[in-house]
Amino acid sequence: MQTIDPAASPTSPNLGHNLPQTDIVTAYCEKTAGSEALARTAADCFPSGITHDSRYLLPHGLYVEHAQGPHKWDVDGNRYIDYYGGHGALLLGHNRPEVKAAIDGAMEKGTHFGAGHPAEIAWAGLVKELVPCAERVRFTSSGTEANSMAVRLARGFTGRSKVVRFRGQFHGWQDEASIGYANHFDGSSTLGVPPSAAGNIVLSEVNDLPALRSILEEDDDIAVIMVEAMGAMTGKVPLAPGFHQGLRDLCDEFGCVLLFDEVVTGFRVSPGGMQEHLGVTPDLTSLAKILAGGLPGGAVVGRKDILDQLDFKVAADTNREKIHHPGTFNANPVSAAAGAETLRIIGSSPVCKQADATAEDLRNVLNQVLKKESVDWTAYGSSSVIHLCMGVPQDQFDPLAMSRTELQNKNTELVRQLRLAMLVHGVDLAPTPGAVVSASHTTNDVEDTCRAFSDSLHALKQAHLL
Ligand SMILES: Cc1ncc(COP(=O)(O)O)c(C=O)c1O
C-alpha cells in the first residue's frame, strides 16, 4: 500500500486528499471516471462536493443516472446492487411500477394546491390503519421535522422542558438532536448550537433501565424519552429484549411522553413498525422514509390528546395556546400519492416479511464467506437491516454484551476500502458498513453479493488490509 501525493499528480483520483492508494482504489477510479469528473465539478458547488454527509466517500462517490428494483446504474453505465435503498426509504425497491404510476398520476394533476386534497386523507387513513399509536397524524417534510414537532408536542403536553435521549442515537439534524449523536457524548452543545440547548438534553445509555429510573427520580422536568426504535444506527447498537416495555412503564410511572423514532423502522419491521412487532405502543411516533414512498415526507403521529395541541378548536375550547405548525410542503400531493400507494402495498402483501427473509439469507451467506476466508468479522442485525462488525469473530459475537464504542468499526480506512472493493465488484453497501435490504432483492442478488464479498475480501487481503 503506497501513499500518493495529489499535488504531484494533476490527474490524481484523490481530489486533494492524501490517502492510501491500493489496487482497490485504482480499480475503482478506472471504473468510475465519469463519477470522478462530476465529483470535481461538484466540489466547486457543494462543501465536500456532496449534499448529505453520509454520501462522503473518498476518492469520490458514485454519480448515479438511473435505478430500477434493487439495482442502480452510474454515469459510466456500471450496474450496482443497491443496499443503501434511498437511505432506507425504498422497501419496495426503486421505481416500483404501481408507485411510479401513482406519482405520474399526481404530477398530471399538479404539485401543490395550497389546500387540502383527497390523497392526504387517503395517506393518513393508511397510516392510522397500520400504525398502532396513530390516533392522529400531522404530516411534515422530513424525519427531522417530525421529531422536532414531536418533542414540541411532548413539552407542550407535559409542561416540562427536558428530553432524555440515548447516546449514539440519531433523530435528525435539529439543534438538540445533534448533541451526543456522533460526538459531544458528555452532553455539551455541538458547533453552531447554543449552549442553552445542552441544558435541555439528558443523555443516557441504552439497555440500562435502573439508570433511567434514577434520572426520572432526580429530575421532575423530563417531558419525553425518545428512542430510535431499533437502536442506534438502525440496530448497529441493538436494544435488549424488554427495554421498550421498560421505557413504556417508566414513562407511565413518571408522567413522561414516550416517543418512538420509527423513521427507518416504520413500515419496515412490520407494516405497523417496531411498535406492532413488539406490542409496545408509544404515545408519539415520528415517521418518514418509507412513509412517503421514496419522495420527501414525514409525520408525527400518536395520541389524539397530544396532537390536539395543533387543533384550533380544541385550543379555543380549552383556552390553551395552540401549537403553531405551518410547512409549505406538508402532505404535498405527489408525496401523498407515492406514500399512499406504498402503504397500500405494504398493508396488503407480505413485502416486509419478504425483505426480512432475503436479509436473513444474505446475513447467513456473508457469515459463511467470512468463516471460509477466516476473517474475524460478523454480519448481524435484525429485520431487513444488516451490519458488519469488524474485529469480532462470529462465535464470540454478542452485541448486547458489547458497548456502543465496541460495536462501531474504528478502522475507517478498512471500511472505506471494503466499500470501494464492493463497488468495484458491483455492490453498493450502506456506509455503516452494512445493507438495507428491500423486497425487490432476489436470490440472484444475494448470490452475486456473496461472490462480490468474497472477491472484495481477497482484494483487501492482497492490499494487506486484512
Ligand atoms: C432514525 C432516524 N431519525 C430521523 C432521521 C431524520 O430523517 P430525515 O433525514 O428525513 O430528516 C433519520 C434519517 O436518516 C433517521 O435514520
82: domain CATH number?
3.90.1150.10
144 in contact with ligand 1, CB cutoff 6 A: yes
Contact 300, 307 (CB under 8 A): yes
- For residues 76 and 130, state if they share a domain: no
235 in contact with ligand 1, CB cutoff 6 A: no
- For residues 340 and 223, state if they share a domain: yes
Contact 225, 202 (CB under 8 A): no
Instruction: Report pLDDT for 218.
Output: 98
Q: How far is the CA of 88 from the centre of ligand 1 (A)?
A: 9
Cα distance from N-terminal residue to C-terminal residue, the chain: 12
Which element (helix H / strand E) includes 378? strand 377-380
Instruction: Report pLDDT for 15.
Output: 52
Q: Whose CA is nearest to atom 3 of ligand 1?
A: 171
Which of 263, 300, 436 to mutate for ligand 1's pocket (most ligand atoms within 8 Å of CB)?
A: 263
- For residues 164 and 290, state if they share a domain: yes
Positions of the chain with pLDDT under 70: 1-17
**Distance (Å, rounded) from C-alpha 45 to C-alpha 215?**
46
Q: What is the pTM of this model?
A: 0.95
Percent helix, strand, coil in the chain, to 5, is 45, 15, 40
Q: Whose CA is nearest to atom 7 of ligand 1?
A: 143
238 DSSP assignment: P
Contacting residues for 74 by C-beta, under 8 A, at least 6 apart: 32, 34, 35, 62, 63, 64, 65, 80
- For residues 122 and 176, state if they share a domain: yes
288 in contact with ligand 1, CB cutoff 6 A: yes
Specify the ligand 1 atom closest to the Cα of 265.
1
Collapse the DSSP code of 368 into the 3-class scheme (helix H, G, I; strand E, B; otherwise coil) and give the result: helix
Domain end among 316, 348, 380:
348
- For residues 264 and 357, state if they share a domain: no
- For residues 86 and 184, state if they share a domain: no
Cell 416504520 -> residue = 266
Domain end among 323, 348, 373:
348
Instruction: Report pLDDT for 5.
Output: 36
**Distance (Å, rounded) from C-alpha 88 to C-alpha 74?**
19
**Distance (Å, rounded) from C-alpha 17 to C-alpha 42?**
15
231 in contact with ligand 1, CB cutoff 6 A: no
List, in sequence order, every residue forming a beta bridge with 85; answer none if it has no partner. Answer: none
87 in contact with ligand 1, CB cutoff 6 A: yes
52 DSSP assignment: S
228 in contact with ligand 1, CB cutoff 6 A: yes
Instruction: Report pLDDT for 17.
Output: 63
Please give the torsion angle defined by the CA atoms of residues 129, 134, 136 and 139, in that order, rounded to the nearest 10 degrees: -90
Q: How far is the CA of 409 from the centre of ligand 1 (A)?
A: 21
322 DSSP assignment: P
Domain end among 348, 373, 391:
348
- For residues 231 and 126, state if they share a domain: yes
- For residues 77 and 117, state if they share a domain: no
Instruction: Report pLDDT for 304.
Output: 98
142 in contact with ligand 1, CB cutoff 6 A: yes
Instruction: Report pLDDT for 410.
Output: 82
The CATH number given to whatever domain includes residue 245 is 3.40.640.10
Instruction: Report pLDDT for 9.
Output: 36
Q: How far is the CA of 52 from the centre of ligand 1 (A)?
A: 12
- For residues 199 and 131, state if they share a domain: yes
- For residues 334 and 367, state if they share a domain: no
**Distance (Å, rounded) from C-alpha 88 to C-alpha 445?**
18
Determine how many CB atoms are found less than 10 A away from the CB of residue 303. Answer: 18
> Comparing C-alpha atoms, which of 208, 233, 231, 216 is closest to residue 163?
216
List, in sequence order, every residue forming a beta bridge with 286; answer none if it has no partner. Answer: 261, 300
Cell 422497501 -> residue = 91
- For residues 288 and 366, state if they share a domain: no
Rg (CA), the chain: 23
C-alpha cell at position 424: 468495484
On the 0-12 / 13-18 / 19+ scale of CB atoms within 10 A, 366 is buried
> Comparing C-alpha atoms, which of 86, 90, 143, 54 is closest to residue 268?
90
Which domain does 16 fall in, by range? 2-93+351-462
- For residues 340 and 402, state if they share a domain: no
Domains of the chain: total: 2
